[in-house]
Structure 1
């Protein structure tokens, strides 16, 4: 029975011990609360001062590359293909023979035309001599004036026959020359659509298509501009057009798929004479050099067109920008090291940084990294804005 009493007594004593611990903690909490809540530590963040540069106003568009010269090669005469004399997909030069047609019938036609020309020239020589004799005889009144008129007509007819024979001979020479189908422009040739042994037609709109050729240097970039941009370049008063009415060579930057920024330089070459009523856009064209030979017709491109003069502009990194239901914002570090949420209006990219049209001023600091929210006290570690012209290392 003694052990039962001991067990019951221990069970009764246990809540008192536990309760003492709880009460001790509460007493400690009350004691600590009496001293007031502790000030939270400043959160560490990475911040950078905004960059100010001279940046011209610009607009971005989507464009397509097109060859300056594009040719569908068709024969001028018909016949059988004897040989194909080019490497498909390779570069060709203007005047290079690409297809050879069977020239035997054209050689025979040319020889017959040359013989007809010689015959006409001999007949003309004979009539010239008869006319000269007739001039003397009519002066001596040995022949009538009517006979002399006949001699004059025969001479004129012989001369006309010679001119006709010359034209026929020249036509035969051209046909013979055209049995060698040559590249009319320099560029990259496509595949051969007709191989040796096939019969092709020529000399008409329905002539057989043999291959295609596109020029490779330079290229055109076609893109559609909005009404505001069109009006910026439409008038001569603004200096956007020359005295001849053509648009001036405004600098244009171009980027292909996968390229960062706008690494390629081009120049505005053409602006259409009207705005499409349905889309509210006008077709524009820029000339893009192709020194490395990588460009080809049909590629998509991003185009940046300068629409104004350079002025001081605020730029920041994209990673400093947040987005919520109301739009885009940045966290600005105030002088008292607390954070302010600031709404911003962004523009295009320039040198790896984003243009800020509204919302920030020169000298302000924005948060790049860190767990932060508006109103929070922070301990910023200042770094240079990546992509800035005067990059510096991290500084406290």
Structure 2
């Protein structure tokens, strides 16, 4: 009996100790839950969409080409005497580039001038004899046949003089052609011949390309061409072919679109193989920074300027095939709102065509700490046009 009372007492003591442990664990868990529940809601930065006047653009890839390109060749045959430019320099229209040996052509010009003087003397003699015959024919001292002969001689002398004048002009032209000058302003290539070389009109001496203005050549797909034609029919954009369509261009590494010009040519047919049509824009290049052959991108307006809502690209999330943003309601709770995105406006901004309004507060920073349906502590922010900060 004493043994059973001892066991019972021990059981009661163990139960008491165990019961105390259970109550203590429950109390500590309740305290931890209360601590978690009392944690403040996460802080996020919110802002209403940025309202700006924008234009929708369509971008094309292409290359810059010179607005003029000339192969320099000699018009006369002879030995090259001098080269009067530095390889790769900028030249002006009319600047002297090459000189062919002029001595043979100077001699030919002197000979042609002498023949012209002889022809002039023959004209003077024929004129004098004609006047005498006309005076004497009335007194029958000269026959009518002699008068007709003098008239014919005068015509022959006049024709010989014209031929001599033409020979002088041709000889002068050949002498002028011995000085080979730049037909356009631009950058000259390297010389392809050296002094002392016998050159003909088949020998390429050098080339010149015009740099200001400069062309941008690109291909427009049939789909894009139809879009522009429909936009033109609705009066939403300027015609492509009347040189009033503005364009902007940039080269590799440019963040903005620093070069502005206009479309000046659209081809007359689409290429059947590629389904594209060739187009060309003219751009000023006063500092000659752009070099022909460089790759670039060009954009043309798809619409006239209109007011749109912009949000940062980093404020959007992907939900399967949809794009959503997190908005904050009046109770400071997050809501995933599906949005329809438009064109990119650069510097991290994107057009929103639908889903949110100008007064909706969207999360622009703190997305990694936010979940839909969660209460948050919104902090007022502002969307900057140049904003490129990543949401975190």
Query: So what's the TM-score if we normalise by structure 1?
Result: 0.81
SS in 2 for 1:218: strand
**Judging changes above 3 Å, is the alpha-carbon distance between structure 1 residues 222 and 194 closer, same or farther for their aligned structure 2 residues?**
same
The structural deviation recorded for 1:352 is 5.7
Alignment of structure 1 residues 245-264 onto 2, 5 Å? 246-264=241-259
Contact kept, 8 Å, 1:333 with 1:340, in 2: the verdict is no
The structural deviation recorded for 1:323 is 4.2
**Judging changes above 3 Å, is the alpha-carbon distance between structure 1 residues 87 and 33 closer, same or farther for their aligned structure 2 residues?**
closer
Per-residue displacement from partner, 1:325-375 (whole Å, max 9, x unpaired)? 525443333333313142432303156622233443222233333313433
The structural deviation recorded for 1:75 is 1.3
Per-residue displacement from partner, 1:80-121 (whole Å, max 9, x unpaired)? 111111121111111110111111111111111111111111
1:148 match: 147
Cα-Cα RMSD: 3.3
Q: Is 1:294 aligned to 2:292, yes or no?
A: no
Instruction: Determine which of 372, 380, 387 is the counterpart of 2:378.
Output: 380
1:314 match: 309
Contact kept, 8 Å, 1:59 with 1:348, in 2: the verdict is no
Quote the Cα distance in structure 2 between the aligned partners of 1:28 and 1:383.
42
**Judging changes above 3 Å, is the alpha-carbon distance between structure 1 residues 358 and 106 closer, same or farther for their aligned structure 2 residues?**
farther
**Judging changes above 3 Å, is the alpha-carbon distance between structure 1 residues 116 and 36 closer, same or farther for their aligned structure 2 residues?**
closer
The structural deviation recorded for 1:232 is 4.8
Per-residue displacement from partner, 1:119-149 (whole Å, max 9, x unpaired)? 1111121122222222223333333333322
2:118 match: 119
The structural deviation recorded for 1:264 is 2.6
Contact kept, 8 Å, 2:248 with 2:261, in 1: the verdict is yes
In structure 1, the gaps of 5 or more residues are 1-15, 392-396
Contact kept, 8 Å, 2:228 with 2:237, in 1: the verdict is no
**Judging changes above 3 Å, is the alpha-carbon distance between structure 1 residues 116 and 236 closer, same or farther for their aligned structure 2 residues?**
farther
2:6 match: none
Q: Once structures 1 and 2 are overlaid, which stretch shifts more, 40-49 or 192-201?
A: 40-49
The structural deviation recorded for 1:261 is 2.3
1:58 match: 57
Per-residue displacement from partner, 1:266-307 (whole Å, max 9, x unpaired)? 233333334444444333333212233212212222222123
Q: Once structures 1 and 2 are overlaid, which stretch shifts more, 298-307 or 183-192?
A: 298-307
Q: Is 1:362 aligned to 2:354, yes or no?
A: no
Aligned residues: 367
Quote the Cα distance in structure 1 between the aligned partners of 2:33 and 2:385.
52
2:127 match: 128
SS in 2 for 1:216: strand
Q: Once structures 1 and 2 are overlaid, which stretch shifts more, 144-153 or 94-103?
A: 144-153
Quote the Cα distance in structure 1 between the aligned partners of 2:75 and 2:336.
75
SS in 1 for 2:305: strand
**Judging changes above 3 Å, is the alpha-carbon distance between structure 1 residues 86 and 163 closer, same or farther for their aligned structure 2 residues?**
same
Query: So what's the TM-score if we normalise by structure 2?
Result: 0.82
Q: Once structures 1 and 2 are overlaid, which stretch shifts more, 293-302 or 331-340?
A: 331-340
Alignment of structure 1 residues 94-243 onto 2, 5 Å? 94-202=93-201, 207-225=202-220, 226-232=224-230, 240-241=238-239
Q: Once structures 1 and 2 are overlaid, which stretch shifts more, 108-117 or 341-350?
A: 341-350
Q: Once structures 1 and 2 are overlaid, which stretch shifts more, 36-45 or 263-272?
A: 36-45
In structure 2, the gaps of 5 or more residues are 1-14, 388-392
The structural deviation recorded for 1:173 is 0.4
Contact kept, 8 Å, 2:322 with 2:338, in 1: the verdict is no
The structural deviation recorded for 1:222 is 2.4
SS in 2 for 1:52: strand
